[in-house]
Structure 1
Amino acid sequence: MPSIKKVGDGIYELDLKGYVCPYPQMYTAQALKKLSKGVKLKVVIDNPPSIENIKNLAQKEGVKIASIEAKGGTWEILLEL
C-alpha cells in the first residue's frame, strides 16, 4: 500500500497517481481505517473514474468530501474524517 504522509497539522496525503481502479478506492479505504476522526486526508489521483469511486466510498463510510480540485491532469480529493 502507498504510504500516508503527514503534510500539515491534522492533514495527511495519500498519493495514488499511477494507480487505476479498483486500487485508488481500495487504498483510500485502508487509509481511512488507519486515521483518527477529526483529521483530513488529501487523496491525489490521476485516474478520472476513481473520483466517483472515492466519492461513493466516502458516502458509505460517512466521511465528508471537503473539496475536489483538478490540478492539471491530477485531482486532489480532500476528505474530512
Structure 2
Amino acid sequence: MQTEIEADFTLDLRGESCPYPVIYTLETLDGMNNGELLQVITDCPGSFRNVPEEAIAHGYKFAQDPVKNGQEYLFHIYA
C-alpha cells in the first residue's frame, strides 16, 4: 500500500513527449538542494522506464518505487 508523500516541488509533465520528461526532470533536480523531494507526473509511456534509469544513473534516489496510475506515471525523487 502506497503512503502519501509530501514533495518539496512538483513537476507536471503531462502532455510532454519523450525525451522531455527525462530532460526536465534532470534539470529540475540539478537546481534543487540536496535532500529535497521532487514529485514528477507524466503521461509519456517511455518515461516509466527512462526517468528512473536516467535519475539513478545521475546519482539520484527514489523515495518509493515509480507508480503507474492509469495513463499517468508518478515519481518521487530525492535531489
Please name the residue that 1:61 is paired with.
58
TM-score by length of 1: 0.81
Aligned counterparts of 2:7 and 2:18: Cα–Cα separation in 1: 27
> Higher strand fraction: Structure 1 or Structure 2?
1
Aligned counterparts of 1:70 and 1:52: Cα–Cα separation in 2: 11
Aligned counterparts of 1:39 and 1:66: Cα–Cα separation in 2: 11
Where does structure 1 differ by over 6 angstroms across 4 or more consecutive aligned residues? none
Aligned counterparts of 2:41 and 2:19: Cα–Cα separation in 1: 15
Number of matched residues? 74
Return the structure number with greater relative CO, CA threshold 8 A, min gap 6. Answer: 2
Please name the residue that 1:76 is paired with.
74
What is the CA RMSD across the aligned residues, in angstroms?
A: 1.7
- SS for the counterpart of 1:13 is strand
TM-score by length of 2: 0.82
Unaligned stretches of 5+ in structure 2? 1-5
Unaligned stretches of 5+ in structure 1? 1-8
Q: Say whether 1:14 aligns with 2:11.
A: yes
1:21-55 deviation per Cα after TM superposition (whole angstroms, max 9, x unaligned):
11101111110111010100001000111121111
Structure 1's 55 and 23: CA in aligned 2 closer, same or farther, altered over 3 A?
same
1:31-81 deviation per Cα after TM superposition (whole angstroms, max 9, x unaligned):
011101010000100011112111111111111122212223211100012
Indicate the percent of aligned positions where both proteins have the same amino acid: 32
